[in-house]
Amino acid sequence: MAQKKSHEVDAFLGGSDKSSVIVLVYGPDKGLVSERAARFARSTGLALDDPFAVIRLEADAIDSDPARLSDEARTISMFGGERLIWVRNAAGQKGLADAVKLLVAEPPTDTRILIEAGDLKKGAALRTIVEGGSFAMALPCYSDDSRGVDAVIDDVLSREKLQITLEARQMLRDNLGGDRLATRGELEKLCLYAHGQERITADDVREAVGDVSALSYDEIIDAILTGDIARFGTAFDRVVKSGSAPFLILNAAMRQFQQIQLLRHAIEQERKPIAAAVASAKPPIFFSRRKLVENALGRWTGESLARVMERLQKTILESRQNAALAIPIIRQTLLAFTVEAARAGRNR
């Protein structure tokens, strides 16, 4: 099938494949869709500000007049050479899908077609048509995971010749990733704030990334660790309403519980006091959170943490297999952890 997996898209865009005449870039992360579509457009080598070489169309305009796409695709350039037709805001338009179907069956010469679309589910007409084409390619764009956020952080900071501390990077991982354009915007704002410095610190992130820090997953994870059920519900709902991808909450939970598990091992196997284990943690725990982590270690045993890690792995799989139910699946799992921590706190 003519499609790439999400993690393969950047490699495809960075390659020299010219065989894909029709390229569909789609997904729920509008910022990432826009960024990758622009990257593909630049890879054609055409002057994107030349109206004779690059024709920009709205999907709704094609939907109301499907023949227009075919006419444009088969029109010979006035000055010769290749052309790009860039279609934006595609969704479930039937007329657009029908027009693309004709071009997939008989691809044009000297013209490439780029389509920017929203979140097209499996089985959507436009996506199915492109995925089935010999000279077409479908490129999915999903919200960045921690690895993707790291890549964007490195890209923006390297341009500004800035370094970043480990704690500051972790804070950015936890707070960014819902939308690629928003992520870049926040990073550029952070770089401007840190102008004149050599290194970005956690304090810089707290001061400069204010709009995103309100959506931090820390509040959710802290509520889980300490058994604060009311706080968990409020924080979880706020993050979900922000539009952030729910799997990012799981990622944050996984990272925090892994750290708690390592600290618990040090306490049980190396016989370290809780305070000493927290103080010597690598990477270091920010001073203002040490008491909270110490409190959590008093509630979670090695056995309970092993169960948590196993259930988190199962929840990751279940939420991916049932994307439409991902939010309630993740909520149920994390709420169960919160209740368990609350009970453990009462029994101390």
Task: For residues 166 and 287, state if they share a domain.
Answer: no
* DSSP H or E stretch at residue 26: strand 22-26
Q: How many CB atoms lie within 10 A of CB 46?
A: 17
Domain assignment of residue 53, yes or no: yes
Please list the ranges in the chain whose pLDDT falls under 50: 211-215
Dump the DSSP string for 123-188: T-HHHHHHHT-TTEEEEE-----HHHHHHHHHHHHHHTT-EE-HHHHHHHHHH--S-HHHHHHHHH
Range of the structural domain that residue 231 is part of: 218-346
Task: For residues 73 and 55, state if they share a domain.
Answer: yes
Domain assignment of residue 189, yes or no: yes
Q: b/e string for 320-346 if b means 16 or more Cβ within 10 A?
A: eeeeeebeebbbebbbebbebbbebee
Cβ-based burial of 205 (10 A; exposed 0-12, middle 13-18, buried ≥19): buried
**The pLDDT value given to residue 213:** 42
Task: For residues 228 and 312, state if they share a domain.
Answer: yes
Domain assignment of residue 1, yes or no: no
CATH code at position 160? 1.10.8.60
Query: 60 near 28, Cβ under 8 Å?
Result: no
Q: What SS3 state is found at 193?
A: helix
**The pLDDT value given to residue 15:** 79
Domain assignment of residue 301, yes or no: yes
Task: For residues 127 and 161, state if they share a domain.
Answer: no
Task: For residues 270 and 335, state if they share a domain.
Answer: yes
CATH code at position 316? 1.20.272.10
Give bridge partners of residue 140 from the DSSP assignment: 26
Task: For residues 105 and 26, state if they share a domain.
Answer: yes
Task: For residues 184 and 250, state if they share a domain.
Answer: no
φ, ψ at 284 (rounded to 5°): -65, 145
**The pLDDT value given to residue 113:** 96
Dump the DSSP string for 241-262: HTT--THHHHHHHHHHHHHHHH
CATH code at position 135? 3.40.50.300
Structure token pair of residue 121: 């589910």
Name, in order, each residue with C-beta under 8 angstroms of 105's C-beta and a sequence gap of 6 or more: none
Number of structural domains found in the chain: 3
Task: For residues 188 and 302, state if they share a domain.
Answer: no
Task: For residues 100 and 175, state if they share a domain.
Answer: no
**The pLDDT value given to residue 18:** 79
Alpha-carbon distance of 153 to 157, in angstroms, equals 6
**The pLDDT value given to residue 16:** 66
Task: For residues 207 and 315, state if they share a domain.
Answer: no
Task: For residues 280 and 246, state if they share a domain.
Answer: yes
pLDDT tens digits along 218-240 = 788 889 999 999 999 988 887 88
Domain assignment of residue 104, yes or no: yes
Domain assignment of residue 114, yes or no: yes
Q: What SS3 state is found at 116?
A: strand
Structure token pair of residue 217: 């997953």
- Cα distances from 102 to residues 19, 63, 95, 99, in angstroms, run 18, 14, 11, 5
**The pLDDT value given to residue 214:** 45
**The pLDDT value given to residue 327:** 92
Domain assignment of residue 258, yes or no: yes
End-of-domain residue from the set 181, 213, 245: 213
End-of-domain residue from the set 90, 111, 140: 140
pLDDT tens digits along 208-220 = 775 444 445 778 8
End-of-domain residue from the set 140, 156, 182: 140
Task: For residues 291 and 341, state if they share a domain.
Answer: yes
